[in-house]
Copies of this chain bind each other. A is one copy, B any other.
């Protein structure tokens, strides 16, 4: 169950020119959050900047009662967020949304092989997910713009059996789209049992088509502009298939995680 909370910011670290990682004290979030869930943060005063900003939970420390988020400064809201400092209270609702299905719940009898594919800010929820997985062989494929934008690589290395990186300009790792990197790998290598993906829509569309071509289970985490974040206002929808056609599902409540084959990627 989501709660509205005012929690203490413990630290804010700059990871790259535009990405920050924030640790927040929260007994409640740290003890209840599942991978794939997010918090909805009031970055400004709520009157001049009305909307909260959805940010994924990228890790929890249940012992210490803290959780982490990582975010890129894009516009007004994330800029304000980057100006918080330790001891500030942060106003957030969460944990929100559904969560990724962990491998052991999908394939209980097996030590499954898992691929996590993330692009840009889409990598953050995957870190939490990979950390929470036991009894699985974990490969991660992370796409960045360039080597300057690479963040959290060590964190991912710690929680994966194999980590592959791509950059658009080839300044680190594979040169090109992370989807191409991933596709080459499943061609030459044992295919995974499950794919988890998060990133821009074109990337997700491609991943889902790869998954379908190879008949691999696939979950994607979607992004959409949000209002309430709790499922009441119906602004955050994406088109999903259902028996008799399609409908608009709420990314904040029915998602953000969807089965790849259920999502209709528009335009």
Taken residue by residue from 25 to 59, chain A's Cβ proximity to chain B (1 for < 8 Å, 0 otherwise) reads as: 00000000000000000000001100000000000
A99 to chain B, nearest CB (A): 36
The docked-state distance in angstroms from the alpha carbon of A47 to that of B48 is 9
Complex CA gap A48/B47 in Å reads 9
A48 to B48 alpha-carbon distance, docked (Å): 6
Q: Which residue in chain B gives the minimum CB-CB distance to A44?
A: B48
**Distance (whole angstroms) from the CB of A191 to the closest CB of chain B:** 53
Contact with B along A44-81 (1 / 0, CB 8 A): 00011000000000000000000000000000000000
Contacts of A48 in B (CB 8 A): 47-48
Please name all residues of chain B whose beta carbon is closer than 8 Å to the beta carbon of A47 when the two chains form the complex. Answer: 48
Measured CA separation A47–B47 after assembly (Å): 12
Q: Which residue of B lies closest to A49 (CB)?
A: B48
For the complex formed, measure the closest distance between the CB of A21 and the CB atoms of chain B, giving whole angstroms: 27
Q: How far, in angstroms, from A168 to B171 measured CA to CA in the complex?
A: 74
Q: Who on chain B is nearest to A48 by CB?
A: B48
| A181: min CB distance to chain B, Å | 43
Rounded to whole Å, the gap between the CB of A106 and the closest CB of chain B is 48
Q: How far is the CA of A81 from the CA of B107 in the complex (A)?
A: 61
Beta-carbon contacts under 8 Å, A176-199 to B:
none
Distance between A20 CB and nearest chain B CB, rounded to angstroms:
22
Write the chain B residue with the least CB distance to A47.
B48
Residue of chain B at shortest CB distance from A45: B48
- Tell me how far the C-beta of A80 lies from the nearest C-beta in chain B, rounded to whole angstroms: 11
Min CB distance A77 to B, Å, is: 14
**Nearest CB on B from A189, distance (A):** 53
Tell me, rounded to whole Å, the shortest Cβ–Cβ distance linking A45 to chain B: 8
Cα distance A48–B46 in the bound complex, in angstroms: 12
Expressed in whole angstroms, the Cα–Cα distance for A178 and B102 within the complex equals 77
Q: Taking the nearest CB of chain B, how far is it from the CB of A141, in angstroms?
A: 42
- How far, in Å, is A83 (CB) from chain B's closest CB? 13
A62 to B143, CA, bound (A): 60
List 2 contacting pairs A-B, 8 Å CB cutoff, sorted by A. A47-B48, A48-B48
